[in-house]
Amino acid sequence: MSRASARRGRTPPRALFLCGEGHVYDPDEARWVPLGELVQDVHAGRRFTARQYGSGTDCTYRLLVRVLVAALGPRPTAPPDGGPWCPRHRSAPPGGRGDVPPADGGPAGYGRTR
């Protein structure tokens, strides 16, 4: 721990590895770390850094996004009353966007062409 960190009362960031399958490994504790544990760590203010296993590329932000998504919990697939998410798209055909005009003037549902 650096003297500056010790003066502030902070512990150094937890160094983690993100494996290709998306699993998180803590080499200091020699164990796999569940995402729920990282959610609790972030909630408690504990910092971490993450590197891609093998290449060593920094992937801290990518792992932080996964932690934040896990902290938010599962998103509902439909509103509780069973109605549409947005009244504008109530009559949208499958794969189409309803009354939303296409951005490039082409057929609805096909998106932009370049």
Domain span at 32: 3-72
pLDDT digits (tens, 9 = 90+) for 38-81: 999 999 999 999 999 999 999 999 999 999 999 988 766 655 55
Confidence of residue 113 (pLDDT cuts 50, 70, 90): very low
Strand partners, 26: 31
Domain count, the chain: 1
41 falls within a domain: yes
**What's the pTM value of the predicted model, to 2 decimals?**
0.57
Phi first, then psi, for residue 61 (nearest 5°) are -65, -35
Is 48 within 8 Å of 38 (Cβ atoms)?
yes
28 falls within a domain: yes
